[in-house]
Amino acid sequence: MRVLIIGVGTRGDVAPYTGLGMRLREAGHKVTIAAHKPYAELVTDAGLEYLPLPGDPLPALTGRFSISAFKEYSEQLVEGLAEIAEQEADLLLLGMAGALGYHVAEAMGVPSMGVHLQPVDPTGDFPPVMSLFQRSLGRWGNRRAARLAFELPAAGPLLAGLSTKMRARLGLPPMTPRALYRRRESTRWPVFHGVSPLVVPRPADRRPGLEITGYWWPLRPRGWQPDPVLLDFLTSGPTPVFVGFGSLAGARAEQYTELAVDALRRAGLRGVLQTGLRGHLSDDVLAVGDVPHDWLFPRLAAVAHHCGGGTTGSGVRAGVPAVAVPVMNDQPFWAARLMALGVAPAAIPFRRLTPARLATALTTAVTDPAYRLRAQALSVRVSAEDGAAPVVEAVNQLRVTHGPGRRPG
């Protein structure tokens, strides 16, 4: 089948689909990933077909988007997704941020499935994942709050109307968010979540078709080799820790780097930083660019990070303690999961981060053996999972049902 994965978002939203896409290709499917242009190499380095989407959401995440720029990005996204309807595909796989692709699949007359990196569907087990505040509202309140996020016009005036614009652009009849959600639920639209059920157990109150499969591990770039400078640093003294803030790092690289260096000095630790700068910052601190986390993290004593879903998974897989520094969106949720699993001390919300607090948390994570023992035990079980297998099986079954090149009536 011709499978098109819509990966709207930044690096962490696209990278897991390279691993999933490779597994689908190995199963005999032709796989294309649609993503914003800054992340094209993630796709092409994996040997998969790439389809560009206009714009880049990163400025919005780093606070560099004005209201007019956000509206422009939204319009670009609608137009870019609408143009996908002119492509040849037998199946669309949609990331959560690419939910507008549901309308594209309808316009194309092909089936679609969700391939989400966050468990956003309603449940009483935890509050809405994309909420900044992770305090439980009680089982009824948790479910109701998460459902409202689906049923109400999308999150305020800046996003309201995107679904309406999308359907109008595609020539589809109008549909309210509530009607769309009810259709999705009544048809049991399948959603696969690329996260380990050991990290997020499947809620018992979720309907069939909302599956938590295990992680989809990003592929390393073809021909990647570690920098000799990094190799030398890792082996030239006590095992260092990692400090990184994900896509946020580039916004205020010098400020975040200074904070991290100060924290390492206070804690008496060596460190590998991913904070926007590069090179030796001192004898005990090395700043690096992009380094595959599956290679780097197992070589470290602890990882302090922003708790993006992909980075959280990589840390769990590596079997090293974490220090959670959540910033926004789903990150407080992942921070809470790391604490609940006992692989991280108390999280430090980014707005409250200071060198002293980071130093204390790093020291705790490195010196208390319980965190490492629990992290290692969890790693063994997570690494044994095959998160891509259920998705591949579902796509293979769809091929049997519909056959390649034919659109269901």
Tokens of 259: 């904070």
Helix (H) or strand (E) holding 93: strand 91-94
CATH class of the domain defined by 2-117+152-216+387-402: alpha beta
Q: Are strands 303-305 and 322-324 parallel, antiparallel or unpaired?
A: parallel
CATH class of the domain defined by 228-383: alpha beta
> According to DSSP H, which parts of 52-95 are helical?
58-61, 67-84
Unique residue bearing structure tokens 């092909």: 110
Amino acid at the residue 261: V
> Tell me, what's the pLDDT at 406?
44
> According to DSSP H, which parts of 247-346 are helical?
253-267, 293-296, 309-318, 331-340
Tokens of 406: 């034919």
Nearest to 307 by CA among 270, 341, 332: 332
Domain ranges within the chain, ordered by starting residue: 2-117+152-216+387-402, 228-383
Residues with Cβ within 8 Å of 379's Cβ and at least 6 positions away in sequence, in order, are: 316, 317, 318, 319
Please state, in angstroms and rounded to a whole number, the distance separating the CA atoms of residues 206 and 212. Answer: 11
Please state, in angstroms and rounded to a whole number, the distance separating the CA atoms of residues 335 and 406. Answer: 44
| Tally of helices (H runs) and strands (E runs) in the chain | 16, 13
Please state, in angstroms and rounded to a whole number, the distance separating the CA atoms of residues 12 and 249. Answer: 13
Spell out where 263-367 has E strands.
Answer: 271-274, 279-282, 285-287, 303-305, 322-324
Tokens of 160: 């309201």
Q: Do 2-117+152-216+387-402 and 228-383 share a fold? A: yes
> Tell me, what's the pLDDT at 293?
94
Print pLDDT tens along the chain (409 aa). 999 999 998 888 899 999 999 999 999 999 999 999 999 999 999 889 999 999 887 776 665 556 777 778 888 899 999 999 999 999 999 998 888 899 999 999 999 999 999 999 999 999 989 876 678 899 999 999 888 888 775 444 445 478 889 999 999 999 888 888 899 999 999 999 999 999 999 999 999 999 999 999 999 888 889 999 999 999 999 999 999 988 666 567 888 899 999 999 999 999 999 988 899 999 999 999 989 999 999 999 999 999 999 999 999 999 999 999 998 889 999 999 999 999 999 999 988 999 999 999 999 999 999 999 999 999 999 999 999 999 999 999 987 776 654 444 3
Nearest to 99 by CA among 32, 158, 167: 167
> Tell me, what's the pLDDT at 248?
66
| pLDDT per position as a tens digit, 119-161 | 999 999 999 898 766 788 999 999 998 888 887 754 444 454 7
Whether 338 and 365 have beta carbons less than 8 Å apart is answered as no
Q: Are strands 91-94 and 303-305 parallel, antiparallel or unpaired?
A: unpaired
Whether 387 and 194 have beta carbons less than 8 Å apart is answered as yes
Q: For the chain, what's the residue count? A: 409
Nearest to 7 by CA among 59, 49, 53: 53
What's the CA angle centered on 183, arms 177 and 188, to 5 degrees? 130
DSSP letter assigned to residue 374 = H
3-class secondary-structure state, position 269: coil
Whether 288 and 274 have beta carbons less than 8 Å apart is answered as yes
Radius of gyration from C-alpha coordinates of the chain: 21
Please state, in angstroms and rounded to a whole number, the distance separating the CA atoms of residues 85 and 83. Answer: 5
> Tell me, what's the pLDDT at 5?
97
Unique residue bearing structure tokens 């390279």: 18
Look up the pTM and report it: 0.92
